[in-house]
Amino acid sequence: MAAALPNSAEAVDAILTVSRETKERLQTYVALLEKWQKSQNLVAPATLKTVWVRHVADSAQAFAVAPDARTWVDLGSGAGFPGLVTGIILAEIGEGLVHLVESNSGKAAFLRAVARETGARVAIHVKRIEAFTAEFAEEVDAVSARALAPLDELLRLAEPLLTGNARGVFHKGQDFVSELTKATPSWAFDLVEQSSPIEAGSRIVVLSNVRRRDPTARSIAG
């Protein structure tokens, strides 16, 4: 688990292979996070001691489960996990874009600073999620979110984006089974789960073919 991974750029190697240049970009990101943390509440202070494992490597799992996705929307981006990490990985590939949606202006300023210094392929939207999805008209390949909301609420927020072949790529913890039980009466989807090497009981879930259930239907089979 997390204790077996080094708290350095090499922690990412447990998730996917990236270049030396990408690791250098990620190092720049972490340095800026530590600097800005002094004035902005970007992450829980206790997690800074294991930032490479707890935040960076954990975030890299989003791209690892959807490596073909090029257009992403990251909801409630906060300090950029996982969306900004995805954008840095896309910089190595040389194509794609992550739309980071964050309503807090201070956190958005931090995202801009990291994007400038790392060349991450991101666009930053300082908006509430509902306002963003009401206006956004592009097709996307994947929607990511980490520690944002329970599954049923997350699907409500992401629904306007989860059309066509778009997938939801969500970090979930030990409560996922109860979240799934609560969500399935209202939502149908195809689900793939992958256990996380970062924390026991955590997982990355990939949802496709997301649709609302007919409220008049009796069946709740997914």
Residue 128 φ/ψ region, left for φ over 0, alpha for ψ in the -120 to 50 degree band, beta for the rest = beta
Whether 221 has a pLDDT exceeding 70, the answer reads no
Beta-bridge partner residues of 204: 171, 194
In this prediction, residue 1 has a pLDDT band, given cuts at 50, 70 and 90, of very low
Cβ–Cβ under 8 Å, residues 208 and 165: yes
d(CA 40, CA 34): 10
Q: Tell me the pLDDT tens digit for each residue of 60-110.
A: 999 999 999 999 999 999 999 999 999 999 999 999 999 999 999 999 999
Other Cβ atoms less than 10 A from the Cβ of 180: the count is 18
Beta-bridge partner residues of 170: 145, 205
Whether 219 has a pLDDT exceeding 90, the answer reads no
User: Rounded to two decimals, what is the model's pTM?
Assistant: 0.93
pLDDT averaged over every residue in the chain? 93
pLDDT at 5: 87
Q: In sequence order, what are the residues at sequence separation of 6 or more whose Cβ sits closer than 8 angstroms to the Cβ of residue 55?
A: 43, 47, 79, 81
Whether 8 has a pLDDT exceeding 50, the answer reads yes
122: which 2 tokens?
A: 């991101």
d(CA 198, CA 180): 21
Provide DSSP, 73-142: EEES-TTTTTHHHHHHHHHHHT--EEEEE---HHHHHHHHHHHHHH---EEEE-S-HHHHHHH--S--SE
pLDDT at 222: 44
d(CA 113, CA 106): 11
Sketch the domain layout of the chain as residue ranges. Answer: 2-212
Q: Tell me the pLDDT tens digit for each residue of 149-192.
A: 999 999 999 999 999 999 999 999 989 999 999 999 999 999 99
d(CA 113, CA 131): 24
pLDDT at 216: 66
Domain 2-212 maps to which CATH number in 3.30.70.20, 3.30.390.50, 3.30.70.1890, 3.40.50.150? 3.40.50.150
84: which 2 tokens?
A: 């900004």
pLDDT at 201: 87
